Amino acid sequence: MNAHGNRFDGKVVFITGGGSGIGRATALRFAREGANVTVVGLSDADNRETARLVEEVGQRALAVTGDVTDSNAVQAALRQTVDQFGGLDIAFNNAGIELVPTPLAEITEEQFDRIINVNLRAVFVCMRHEIPLLLERGGGAIVNTSSGAGVKGFPGGSAYGASKHGLIGLTRCAALDYAAANIRINAICPGIIDTQMMGRFTGGTDEGRAEVIAQEPVGRMGQAEEIAAAVLWLCSDEAAFTIGHAFVMDGGQTI
């Protein structure tokens, strides 16, 4: 039991990109509040570790290795979720990739297509298969991971920014499609969060970290757990009137 009680007792949560970072932190927060969790991602070892941690806090977990850009793989993972847990109540479409800051004319078409495919098209594919399952339950919640780069331009970020801006548009339009059906769809827009992805982005050096932290008015990176707390709120009954919102949590970076 925590300060919020068990807000998600018996709920079934489907998380993409759940093997590390924000996805893992969110899986554990849901589990601590009573949910059973499916974790989907490319790394079997990371998925299994998240599942083990979920089970450690007393909830059931399913680890599925799969590529969220593959519609068949997404459908298979959702089928396994329904078979294991009986249905679906919440989806956190969190899987994403980054690109080293690159001026637009130097980004290859292949790089652009890959960023759009993983960060935007895959979320469309996931929602397309998640929403019918939520309708069967009489409603539910979806949260998609956008970025501070989804609400503001950054130099070198044309491909990544396009994918994350597009994701907010996708979220807003889908939210209006299903608001009356008791499905709430929102997005989160994290700033600079201390995860493996940010480690790759900074080159893993003290200098790289310091340069990135200097962009944050609060003088530090955010923690995955801080983002997880917002995802849980958006999926809870406390956020029942929050529809199609792009929730920015970035230490003041985009103000």
Q: Are the beta carbons of 121 and 112 closer than 8 angstroms?
A: no
The phi, psi pair for 240, rounded to 5°, reads -60, -20
Q: Tokens standing for 86?
A: 């009986």
What is the DSSP pairing of strand 246-249 with strand 90-93?
unpaired
CB atoms within 10 A of CB 3: 4
Distance CA 157, CA 234 (A): 27
Cβ neighbours for 28, distance < 8 A, ≥ 6 positions apart: 50, 53, 54, 57, 228
Residues, the chain: 255
Q: Tokens standing for 73?
A: 């793989």
Cα angle 177-179-145, degrees, rounded to a multiple of 5: 80
Among this protein's residues, is 178 annotated catalytic? no
- Residue of 160, 209, 222, 246 marked active site: 160
Q: Strand order in 246-249's β-sheet?
A: 61-65, 36-41, 12-16, 90-93, 140-145, 183-190, 246-249
**Catalytic positions, please?**
160
